[in-house]
Amino acid sequence: MFNYPVTLTPDDADGGFVVTFPDIPEAITQGETKDEALTAAHDALVTALDFYFEDKREVPSPSKPKRGQEIVELEPSLVAKVLLLNEMVRQKVRPTELARRLGTSPQEVNRLTDLHHTTKIDGIGAALKALGKRLDLHVA
């Protein structure tokens, strides 16, 4: 899935840890403990992804973590939305065009690409199919 490596840097001035993402430079957060920092890192990552979605920019894929490097894993529903957004950006397909292909409204397509809107996976699968792609799920 989408496991984004993080860099945990001890904050000598204030204590705790500063968390950054090599692949998503907009995501920065901190925590008093390593566990708190990693929990905050997930929220920071999702917030940063919002910027990509709002700007209709392709979300960078996660790089391979280095040995011992911590990761933040995105939920499958968010991964599916990222994959849909990235394909729309690559193909230069706007929500209105995708809505036309799906026989639905642009508002419905906007919901498919809203990270905070609960979406059935079937809807994302149908949207990807309309783009000539297939959503492939597997258990590892």
Q: Total domain count for the chain?
A: 2
pLDDT, tens only, 25-59 = 999 999 999 999 999 999 999 999 999 999 999 99
Q: Are residues 62 and 15 in the same domain?
A: yes
Q: Does residue 114 lie within any of the structural domains?
A: yes
Largest CA distance in the chain: 56
Q: Are residues 40 and 90 in the same domain?
A: no
Q: Are residues 23 and 62 in the same domain?
A: yes
* Confidence at residue 41, expressed as pLDDT on a 0 to 100 scale: 97
CATH number (domain holding residue 26):
3.30.160.250
* Confidence at residue 92, expressed as pLDDT on a 0 to 100 scale: 97
Q: Are residues 8 and 68 in the same domain?
A: yes
Predicted confidence (pLDDT) at residue 139 exceeds the cutoff of 90:
no
Counting residues of the chain whose pLDDT is more than 90, the rounded percentage is 91
Pick from 109, 77, 79: nearest CA to 94: 109
Q: Does residue 139 lie within any of the structural domains?
A: no
Pick from 51, 87, 60: nearest CA to 2: 60
Q: Does residue 23 lie within any of the structural domains?
A: yes
pLDDT, tens only, 53-71 = 999 999 999 999 999 999 9
Q: Does residue 140 lie within any of the structural domains?
A: no
- Tell if the pTM clears 0.85, that is, is over it: yes
Of 115 and 139, more confident: 115
Q: Are residues 63 and 116 in the same domain?
A: no
